[in-house]
Chains A and B, each alone.
Chain A
Amino acid sequence: MLSHLDKLEAEAIYIIREVAAVCEKPVMLYSIGKDSSVMLHLALKAFYPEKPPFPFLHIDTTWKFHDMIAFRDRVAKEHGITMLKYTNKDGVARGINPFDHGSSYTDIMKTQALKQALKKYQFTAAFGGGRRDEEKSRAKERIFSFRNEAQVWDPKNQRPEMWKLYNPRIKKGESMRVFPISNWTEKDIWQYIKRENIEIVPLYFAKVRPVIKRDGMIIMVDDDRLKLRPDEKIINEKVRFRTLGCYPLTGGFASEADTLDKIIAETLQAVTSERASRAIDKDSIGSMERRKREGYF
């Protein structure tokens, strides 16, 4: 009998292969986070001995942790995969940044950038690493999730998805978002990373890092674009990150977990769910659904 992780792995591989077989121009979104590391690993396994027959796409907001960008470039080279990078140039020109522009920053540099990139390359299907345990509206999303011409999700009118019979059919301009690890939990992700010895960005492990405390969050000082407020000073603390995004928006937390085993142990008894450390989700109830309908992953 297959173990729980074996079943999740087989399900994800099945979905990834389906997309490669039936969708005209797929792409795998790569956010550099641990879920993306798992997705890349699954894609490599799914097609072995062939390379994944689609490119990977990273939406670069220019505000990612420096460790993340270095990791991305090294991993792409090591595995011989095509890594596309896209930045909303217009947003950069307008000086859009996470400090001054709040949630419109996320919209312009992430949501709009993603839409622009998908349109530019004419991708008809994009894999995402979304999991149903992350947020309530995600818990309701199909594995093959239809997007209309405006790349909008209509949660009230999703196609029924029966057994493993995924309906990939779209018209010109429409597209699919596909979530192969929908049924994984954060714990599954960590256990799989351990079992498969998957490399992840070092920021997930606790280490003494230069941080400031702002609005209840621990922000890492990753470069000199972080302007200190008068009452703030940089301190060195042992912190790690549960999720990785743009450094000014991703809160770290004090932790001693510097090995996978310690991270798993910490996760099992966690008292805060994963997304609480992301500033954008707390804006309002239903904020994730709203952003998803607008095209955010």
Chain B
Amino acid sequence: MSGLLKFITCGSVDDGKSTLIGHILYDSKLLYADQEKALELESKAGSRGGKLDYSLLLDGLMAEHEQGITIDVAYRYFTTEKRSFIVADTPGHEEYTRNMAVGASFADLAVILTDAAKGVLVQTRRHARICHLMGIKHFIFAVNKMDIIDYSEKRFQEITAQINELVGQIGLENVDIIPLSATEGDNVTVKSLNMPWYKGDALLPALENVDAEDNIEDSGFYMPVQRVCRPDRTFRGFQGQCEGGQLYTGDTVTVLPSGETADVKSIHTAGAKTDNAAAGQALTIELSKEIDVSRGCVITKDIKAVITKSITSDILWMDDEPLLLDHEYIFQLGSGSTIAVIKEINYKTDVNTGNELTASVLHKNELASCTIALSDRITAAEFTAYPVLGSFILVDRLSNMTSACGVIRKARQVTDDDYSFVSGNTKISATLFDEYYYNMGDMKIDTAQKDYKTFTIGDVLPLKGRTYNYPKETDIVAFAEKAVIRVRNGKIIDFVPFAQYSFDVQYNAPLIDSRGFAINVNDQAELDKFRAEYADGKNQAAFWNKWLDCTKWRHILFNDNFWMI
């Protein structure tokens, strides 16, 4: 009945997380003989006077052996008669909180250890909050080291009260509290005779019986597109994983963010054709007609997602470098990515009290609510409704470090004001009027946006700025929206679908993209070639390097302090 359970163990340092898991593996005869032998050997060399040190089974890195602590999350695999488990054993030190969060993002259930002598500590609270942030819905608080306090029921009740207070503060559901001793084995795999007053299950049976399966089948269907599969001219399939709901051949689906619809012509699940697909499966979907679908799009049926450029989210900052307001980060959500700027830290959370504090900067391991602006429209949703459309990471553009992770609490639907060009149903986002500055402060290129204005047919465009100078006759290609804006004598005269667009021989109008980069297309033949290569889905760096010239109409100005402009 119960499938695979992924869980984590967390809690403060020295609360005995690795020892607990080591003991479960040892007790359940889940170790191979050579592992057991290595354990005995290493224990002898260790600090615990020759007694079996179960944590040695998990702390695999040499640095961890030396320091006697867990630095990074370790994954262990074991199977009992009732169930298969993957356990992520996570570090307790505050320094390594982000590695603990990695484990939490992976788990369905958290076992949070508390030292019976010390009670609920700051780190216990921090971990409980992070587990909640990452979407864990099932919690077991393991009150460990009961042997040290002589298995006192009174002390256990005191800690239970502390835990319940924390649980109420964060709003956790599905909470169990178990008194145990990881070193002595009380209430670990079997019920302890030392605590007859405790009526619940031991830890392992509790893990074996919990139902932590998410009901993602009941959701609407959605699949972020990872890639386009084009083995030949006759087949064009969209590949990704079904993140919720079900899909049948013949269903009508909506592709976001464009909103175009089509029918499902065929479905393949991992190599075989099928008539229906279920949540969790790897799919290849063929649609009934040619519509624009590429990586980052989401194929949907009956879901409530929004197209957004502005989100409110709870984030965990994980980088050694602090979070800077108005600094640009790469934003990854689902299969899409864009540029994000943190516009405001609404508050940061005191992990101990839960109080909301004002802040203008965030440091490593801090939790905060932020308002984030995105440079392109993305398909998103609240994390609790559609986890995959509601969770993201921020990546530093210079170091490539994964700087933060976050979940969306609110996403604001874009309106026409958020677009640069609008005509009828065609809405186009463009950055060709952004100025490019080389920022002498942090030695990188920044972009500055003009005050927002939406242009439509008949409008005169500001074709000359400080760092750009576009010709009066030009055709602006918006790839995401698959449309071309014709500009003649400085005015917008028409919006044309990219597929129907042909090269203007009369004006020889040069092509630029929506960023203002020149497209190296000088006649109809080159346009056809460009369009074919683009349609092939090979829109990677090599493709853009071949076809785009970033400096033909644009240049970069030096600036001492970009944000003072």
Residues of A that sit less than 8 Å from B by CB: 1-4, 6-7, 9-10, 13-14, 17-18, 20-21, 24, 44-51, 132-133, 135-140, 142, 155-156, 158-165, 167, 169-171, 182-183, 185, 187, 270-273, 276, 285-286, 289-290
Contact = CB atoms under 8 A, between A and B. Distances in A.
Contacts of A162: 101-102, 105, 134, 391, 393, 402, 405
A8 to B, nearest CB: 9
A136 B101 contact: no
A21 to B, nearest CB: 4
Contact of A160 (B34, B229, B318): B318
A79 B35 CA distance: 39
B231 interface: yes
B72 interface: yes
Contact of A183 (B59, B75, B231): B75
B261 interface: no
A3 B540 CA distance: 36
A133 B86 CA distance: 10
12 contacts: A6-B280, A9-B270, A9-B282, A44-B271, A49-B231, A136-B61, A162-B105, A162-B134, A165-B332, A167-B395, A271-B33, A289-B60
A45 B269 CA distance: 9
B77 A185 contact: yes
Nearest to B395: A167
Contact of B3 (A1, A132, A135): A1
B33 A289 contact: no
Contact of B72 (A20, A158, A164): A158
The 8 closest A-B pairs by CB, nearest first: A136-B60, A273-B32, A45-B271, A13-B282, A50-B231, A21-B227, A169-B400, A162-B405
A165 B391 contact: yes
A9 B75 CA distance: 18
Given A14-B241, A48-B271, A21 B226 contact: yes
Contacts of B268: 48-49
A288 to B, nearest CB: 9
Nearest to B79: A187
A184 to B, nearest CB: 8
Interface in B34-83: 34-35, 38, 42, 57-63, 65, 71-77, 79
Given A7-B280, A9-B282, A285-B38, 11 more contacts: A3-B3, A18-B335, A48-B268, A137-B61, A140-B75, A155-B71, A160-B402, A163-B134, A169-B400, A170-B400, A289-B60
Interface in B203-223: 213, 217
Interface of B: 3-4, 32-35, 38, 42, 57-63, 65, 71-77, 79, 84, 86, 98-99, 101-102, 105-106, 134, 213, 217, 226-227, 229-231, 235, 237, 239-241, 268, 270-271, 278-282, 284, 295, 318, 330, 332-333, 335, 387-388, 391-393, 395, 400-402, 405, 540-542
B86 A183 contact: yes
A165 B101 CA distance: 13
B282 A46 contact: yes
B78 to A, nearest CB: 9
A50 B61 contact: no
Contacts of B281: 2, 6, 10
A214 B405 CA distance: 53
A129 B330 CA distance: 29
Given A140-B73, A140-B74, A49 B393 contact: no
Contact of A289 (B62, B134, B227, B295): B62
B522 to A, nearest CB: 28
A47 B400 CA distance: 28
B4 A139 contact: no
Contacts of A51: 231
Given A49-B231, A167-B395, A171-B400, A135 B60 contact: yes
A139 to B, nearest CB: 5
Contact of A133 (B42, B77, B217): B77
B239 A17 contact: yes
Contacts of B102: 142, 160-162
Nearest to A182: B75
Nearest to B4: A4
Given A49-B235, A160-B102, A162-B391, A132 B280 contact: no
Given A185-B77, A273-B35, A50 B226 contact: no
Contacts of A138: 60
A270 B332 contact: no
Contacts of A165: 332-333, 391-393, 405
B75 A132 contact: yes
Nearest to A281: B34
B479 to A, nearest CB: 17
Contacts of B541: 24
B60 A139 contact: yes
Contacts of B392: 165
A136 B229 contact: no
A272 B391 contact: no
Nearest to B319: A160
A276 B75 contact: no
A137 B57 CA distance: 11
A10 B3 contact: no
A4 B58 CA distance: 24
A139 B76 contact: yes
